[in-house]
Amino acid sequence: MTNSQVSVLRVFWLETYYECLKSWRMPSYTVPTLAFPLGFYYLFGVVLAGSSGNNAAQYLLATFGVFAAMGPSMFGFGVGVAMEEEQGQLEMKRVAPMPISALVVAKLGTAMAFTAFVLLGLYGIAYFLGGVRLSATTWLSLATIHLLTTIPFGLIGLTLGLALKGQAALAVTNIVFMLLSVLGGLWIPIMVFPEVAQTFAMLLPSYHVGEIALHAVGINDSGFPFAHWLGVGVTVAIFSLAPWFFWRHKQSQ
């Protein structure tokens, strides 16, 4: 490995480290990111599931893990980028002698770190309080899916952060986050929705990732969920191009 490659890796590492440190020191980010998924899962997956038994806790573990990954991804990118631009930090990073991709990698790394932290709590509640028992391979598969969830929703957040100003980005990200969570079937199975809402849910990436996670725990066992992977792939493709468009637009201003 050459000295220049080492230097680039060090830039990526330091940017990620300080992004994690900055996020950890913001209670407005850490508290909802960590507390909400754990509190909601304990309420719906353990307390209210009650007599429904292990199946409800296992079902909601798969979908609430997606919900847990969406929060740090969408808010870290969406609100974070918009606020940094409003405060002039993004402009400083544009002219700094570092690849702009370091910013994206740092925020993605931070989202994955926070997601991993909350997943430990979520899986602990599921195992010790919800009675969920899965094989080691299944736990690993589920954790991998939940961590990878940060990619499509991070890209959605990045699009919102580049397209909107600070407070507008916060408001719109909140709305989009809640709509994707509820209408995507992460809190309530979509089969209880009206038919129109069920059809709409199938257009949402949160629904497709949730179905992939359910498949991993053996609840939606209908063979390899190709259509759901395709849905996620389309989301990644679209929201990989959208931030590039908004970024180029800002550079041309």
Q: What is the pLDDT of residues 71-83, one digit of tens each?
A: 999 998 988 888 8
Task: Give me the pLDDT at residue 221, please.
Answer: 58
Q: Once rounded to an integer, what is the mean pLDDT over residues 54-70?
A: 92
Whether the CB-CB separation of 72 and 110 falls below 8 Å is answered with yes
Helices (H), the chain: 3-24, 27-41, 54-86, 89-95, 101-128, 136-148, 150-163, 166-183, 195-201, 205-216, 226-252
Task: Burial-class residue 182 by CB neighbours within 10 Å (0-12, 13-18, 19+).
Answer: middle
Task: Give me the pLDDT at residue 16, please.
Answer: 93
Answer whether residue 252 shows pLDDT above 70: no
User: Which one has a higher pLDDT value, 12 or 67?
Assistant: 67
Answer whether residue 92 shows pLDDT above 70: yes
Nearest to 188 by CA among 44, 39, 32, 35: 44
* Residue 29 binned pLDDT confidence (cut-offs 50, 70, 90): confident
Average pLDDT of the residues of the chain:
89
User: In this prediction, what percent of the chain has a pLDDT beyond 70?
Assistant: 92
Whether the CB-CB separation of 107 and 75 falls below 8 Å is answered with no
The count of C-alpha atoms lying within 13 angstroms of the C-alpha of 194, restricted to the half-sphere facing its C-beta, is 2
Q: Cβ–Cβ contacts within 10 Å for residue 66, how many?
A: 28
What gap in Å lies between CA 1 and CA 239, rounded to an integer?
Answer: 33
* Residue 245 binned pLDDT confidence (cut-offs 50, 70, 90): confident
Least confident span in 122-131, 146-155, 160-169, 230-239: 160-169
User: Which one has a higher pLDDT value, 212 or 97?
Assistant: 212
User: In this prediction, what percent of the chain has a pLDDT beyond 90?
Assistant: 60
What gap in Å lies between CA 60 and CA 52, rounded to an integer?
Answer: 12
Answer whether residue 10 shows pLDDT above 60: yes
